[in-house]
Amino acid sequence: MRGRVPVAAGLAAVVLLTPMTGAEADPKPTVAQAKAKLSKLNEQADKLVDRYNAANEKWKKSRQKYLAINEDYKKQNVRVEALRSGLVSMAVSSYQVGEMGSWGGVFYSSNPDAMLSGLATLNHMSAERAGRLREYEGAIKDLKDRRDQSKVVYKEAADVKDELAGEKEKVDKLVREQMKLLRSLGTFNPGNPNSAGVVYTGPASGNALEALQFAYKQVGKPYRYGGTGPGAWDCSGLVQAAWAAAGVRLPRTSYEQWAWGASRRVSLDELQPGDLLWHAGYGHVGIYAGDGKVVHAPQTGDVVKIVSLAEYHAIGAVRP
């Protein structure tokens, strides 16, 4: 019996030394599991994309506000320079007749704060000169206010830009997950940015007809978050552009569009062509086309398409 290994010990050695097979490794997800995960990712993406779009709109408005104030600041600066030039000429004349006193040097500073401080020390001059000086002092105060306001608004715009970058990073990460799953399922559709779409032949009329004709021409173009055309769209970007073509101005994001329609809600059993339809917690919007059809821009890896109302799973509707 010498030299033999006990049976129990031999089995333990086999277990320890045998490499793990595929059965013990993390199993590859089934198609059903991958689709379920993709569905959850799509719901998350709708919310994140809407937040990204909201941050992007906020950034645009902040930047426009800053540019407008900065432009006003530049115009005020030109006015101040013109007034200063006139007062310098007056100071030279006063000097020539011995009336210069202490006020000539005030107008050679380019700092609004320093100029205001210097102006406060002046207490004697003719009515005409006093009037011009008061006008100049008011212009300097306006200039200082514009400058300070411009700094504040610039800081706000910079903060919003940081917020936008943070939202974009989150969406980009989620999109990469979606793309990976779609490719593993073999269902990734890159779309065609130059697609001519299809012709709308449904029952719509009036401006709803114009909106749907526009939306149908986008069929086949890829979904892209933040997309506002012409070669790619996200859900709310498509809806906004379609109704803009019909003369109706809608907000940019799906949540804003739902809020915009607070007084325009309609029952799902009273739908008319052109009505806006939401699903997935109001993070996704499409357009009812009539005849039980919906046109929308679904999600990453898909294209603008027409689906059945039953497939769309609508939870709310608004009539523009």
- Domain architecture of the chain: domains with CATH: 31-95+108-185 (1.10.287.1490), 206-318 (3.90.1720.10)
Q: Cα angle at 176 between 254 and 217, to 5 degrees?
A: 45
Contacts of 171 (CB under 8 A, 6+ apart): 45, 48, 49, 52, 225
Closest CA to 45 of 174, 169, 165: 174
Amino acid (one-letter) located at 18: T
pLDDT given for residue 196 in this prediction:
97
Dist CA 215 CA 114 (whole Å) = 59
Tens place of pLDDT for every residue, the chain, 320 residues? 444 444 444 434 434 444 444 444 456 667 778 778 877 877 887 888 888 888 888 888 888 888 888 887 888 778 777 777 776 676 665 554 444 444 445 555 556 665 555 555 454 445 666 677 777 778 778 778 878 888 888 888 788 888 888 888 998 998 899 989 889 889 999 999 999 999 999 999 999 999 999 999 999 999 999 999 999 999 999 999 999 999 999 999 999 999 999 999 999 999 999 999 999 789 999 999 999 999 999 999 999 999 999 999 999 999 99
pLDDT given for residue 14 in this prediction:
39
pLDDT given for residue 85 in this prediction:
77
pTM of the model: 0.68
Tell how strand 316-318 and strand 305-308 pair up. unpaired
Dist CA 168 CA 233 (whole Å) = 16
Please write down the HEC assignment for all residues of 221-285: CEECCCCECCCCECHHHHHHHHHHCCCCCCCCCHHHHHHHCCCCECCHHHCCCCCEEEECCCCEE
pLDDT given for residue 91 in this prediction:
62
pLDDT given for residue 280 in this prediction:
76
pLDDT given for residue 257 in this prediction:
97
pLDDT given for residue 16 in this prediction:
40
